[in-house]
Amino acid sequence: MSSAFNEPNDFGPSVDHVPTGGVLASLGLDAARAAEFAPYVDRGLVAGRVSRVDRSTCDVVTDDGVLRAAHGAGPLPCTGDWVAVAVVGTPNEEPVIESVLDRRTALTRSSASGRSEGQVLAVNVDSVLIVVPLDVEPDLGRIERLLTVAWDSGAQPVVVLTKADTVDDADDVRADVETAAPGADVIVVSAVTGEGVEVLGAVAAGRTLALIGTSGAGKSTLANALTGAEVATGEVRQDGKGRHTTTWRELIPLPGGGVLVDTPGLRGIGLYDVNDGLDMAFSDVEEFAEQCRFADCGHVAEPGCAVLEAVETGALPHRRLESYRKLRREADWIASRTDHRLRAERARQWKVVHKEMRRNPSPKK
């Protein structure tokens, strides 16, 4: 497998310093993260960042090159994770990830399998670029859904309107999108004319970015423009949906420092434990809600509802309130499923304990 980083080199038996520069610095290693690595480096482990995850192994970028490392004990690594790797004294003398450092941010959606667990798409991301093509009319409800997930990750969302060269009213569309994206920057970009690419490059400098959006949105073309490298693209279908080209999440270095995580095209993205993200994505609704007569106002027909009053006066678009209601219902449903799963798991554990107690009763005194 080829990599945008250097190929693996010959590693020594241990590392006797905390990395503060070189490759890892360009990938976002700061003083606080280096301090977290100190006890692992003292044990002879190698500091690195996961650039790609397969079923049982990961590509881990280190200051000395790329390691192909097996998963060790603990949580499964994800693209963007900072990890400590043992390179000697392991079974078969193969590198093994011994520890995954705490994640500062995590971009998560509900599991595609329909189970109540969340699926982590990328971690330790500074900004989430929500890529929306202008060659089809933007779906504001979908943008709000993606913003909810992005805000909840702990990263800063940025809406990127691509393919600006295909329309004549890009600025008008941007104004519409801005009403659905309070608190987030909205940037119009064309990889063909170069419009907005420099602005986006300034946002990207020295940061970890994650691209999310549907197939055909122009994510890979945008990645090419940001990285100066050739990221695989696919033919776009006539319905604008495109063909899936990226089938895994991979870390791609940026020329000015920082990295890009290009995620697979998302046919759908379910909400997972997003109460904070929902509040931030709909901060305008929440601002009106604080003025409601009742603290538990459902914004349906309650007297003294400031949200409904804002809709009536035109201060809040009705479409915006309907989108909020829809996502709130979905978030509440997911939360109830998660609570049910946790209760079921606790009940199962107690059954095991009680069964074991009946099988091995305490001796009588």
Q: Which residue has the higher pLDDT, 49 or 257?
A: 49
Residue 38 pLDDT > 80, yes or no? yes
Domains of the chain: 22-100 (2.40.50.140), 106-262 (3.40.50.300), 275-340 (1.10.40.50)
Residue 170 pLDDT > 90, yes or no? yes
Q: Return the pLDDT at 23.
A: 87
Q: Return the pLDDT at 273.
A: 79
Q: Return the pLDDT at 283.
A: 96
Residue 350 pLDDT > 80, yes or no? no
pLDDT above 70 covers a percentage of the chain that reads 77
Q: Which residue has the higher pLDDT, 59 or 272?
A: 59
pLDDT tens digits along 177-209: 999 999 999 999 998 899 999 999 898 888 999
Residue 86 pLDDT > 60, yes or no? yes
pLDDT tier at 105, thresholds 50, 70, 90: very high
Structural contact between residues 159 and 187, judged by C-beta atoms closer than 8 angstroms: yes
Q: Return the pLDDT at 109.
A: 85
pLDDT tens digits along 289-344: 999 999 999 899 899 999 999 999 999 999 999 999 999 988 888 777 765 555 55
Q: Return the pLDDT at 226.
A: 87
Alpha-carbon distance values, 127 to 169, 179, 287 (Å): 27, 20, 24
pTM of the model: 0.80
Neighbours of 196 (CB within 10 A): 20
Q: Are strands 65-70 and 57-62 parallel, antiparallel or unpaired?
A: antiparallel
pLDDT tens digits along 231-263: 544 444 444 444 433 334 678 888 878 899 877
Q: Residue 152: in which H helix or E strand, if any?
A: helix 140-153
Residue type for position 249 = R
Neighbours of 340 (CB within 10 A): 11
The Cα 44–Cα 245 span in angstroms is: 39
Which of 15-24, 226-235, 301-310 reaches the highest mean pLDDT?
301-310
pLDDT tier at 269, thresholds 50, 70, 90: confident
Q: What is the mean pLDDT of the chain?
A: 82
Q: State the sign of the Cα–Cα–Cα–Cα dihedral 323, 329, 331, 334.
A: negative
Average pLDDT of the residues in 140-145: 95
CA Rg value for the chain: 24
Packed helices 197-204 and 219-227: angle between N→C axes, nearest 10 degrees: 70
Task: Kindly report which listed range (53-57, 173-177, 284-288) carries the lowest average pLDDT score.
Answer: 53-57
